[in-house]
Amino acid sequence: MRNRARNWTIDDLIDSCSEALYEFEGIDKGVSRRTVQMDIQLMRSEKLGYNAPIIVREKKFYTYEDPEYSITNIPLTQQDLGKLSEVVEILRQFKGFSHFKELSGMVQKLEDKVHVSKTHQRPIIDLEKNESLKGIHFIDPIYRAIQQRKCLSIEYQSFKARKSQEFTFQASLLKEYRNRWFVLGRKEGKVTYMLLALDRIEALNITNSLLMLEDDQFISSYFDKVLGVSVNPNEPAQRIILHVQHESAPYVMTKPIHHERPFYLAKAPSTIGR
């Protein structure tokens, strides 16, 4: 009914619903006139939260009075918001426990969404985001490939390459760094791991080829000794001592450069971070 290019009679709607049922569900019996009429009444009501502005023009053509209306754009109901508020309060009780540390930021995001939906005011939390970032839509298929232990067929063009190349890739780990996404894995037949930037992927498909056996401990600790995502397995780890001015020390201490070596405030006027 959002398609204003044609007029929709009840028979047209019956035919469209029957075709959709056959295409998506394989049901070839179609639907009855009574079923479609009852569904229209249900969409008009508050029962499912749609309140669809369905009108009949010239006593036979069905359409939405609001041309921008869609059931996919329905705002949260007051009941939904009430339930979400309850969930937020429950999650707030758990976020202080060590096993639920990751929930802290999640709860704040959810609180902010509920607040905006309730009050229609500006967001209180400004989340880091990059609207022009490419390759985000590849996260889901890569995640599923790793989960199902299947290889990927990837068309990839690095910054240095003049044209893209296609190869089979065994994805092992998704990595986010500074709001940019990467995938760690191996090319088919290779032993060494490599990192691909999702914004350099041109095309991607999940294949039926199964992954080779992996060292889970190696993958889990792959980025432990580095800052960022560039890993040189042939370069040994080095111990670095940073000398920080006394007045700057609190800023460095509250945001450690690396998780493995916290910073300590020395008693001397000049602060040494290890």
Count CB-CB contacts under 10 A for residue 100. Answer: 14
What's phi and psi for 231, nearest 5 deg?
-120, 125
In this structure, what token pair is assigned to residue 13?
């709607």
> Average pLDDT over the chain, rounded to whole?
79
Per-residue pLDDT at 265 exceeds 60? no
What's phi and psi for 122, nearest 5 deg?
-65, 155
> How much is the average pLDDT of 19-30?
83
Residue scoring higher pLDDT (229 or 86): 229
Residue scoring higher pLDDT (107 or 140): 140
Could you give the strand order of the β-sheet that contains 150-156, starting from the edge strand earlier in sequence? 194-197, 180-187, 165-177, 150-156, 201-210
pLDDT of residue 129: 62
pLDDT of residue 72: 72
CA dist., res. 177 & res. 230, Å (int): 11
pLDDT of residue 2: 82
CATH number for the 136-220 domain, one of 3.50.30, 2.30.30, 2.40.128, 1.20.120?
A: 2.30.30
Residue scoring higher pLDDT (262 or 243): 243
- When pLDDT is cut at 50, 70 and 90, the band that residue 92 belongs to is low
CA dist., res. 216 & res. 222, Å (int): 10
Coil, helix or strand for 119?
helix
CA angle 88, 90, 96 (to 5 degrees): 95
What's phi and psi for 121, nearest 5 deg?
-100, 175
Indicate the domain borders of the chain.
10-73, 78-119, 136-220, 242-273
> How much is the average pLDDT of 139-157?
91
Q: Indicate if the alpha-carbon torsion angle 228, 230, 233, 238 is positive or negative.
A: negative
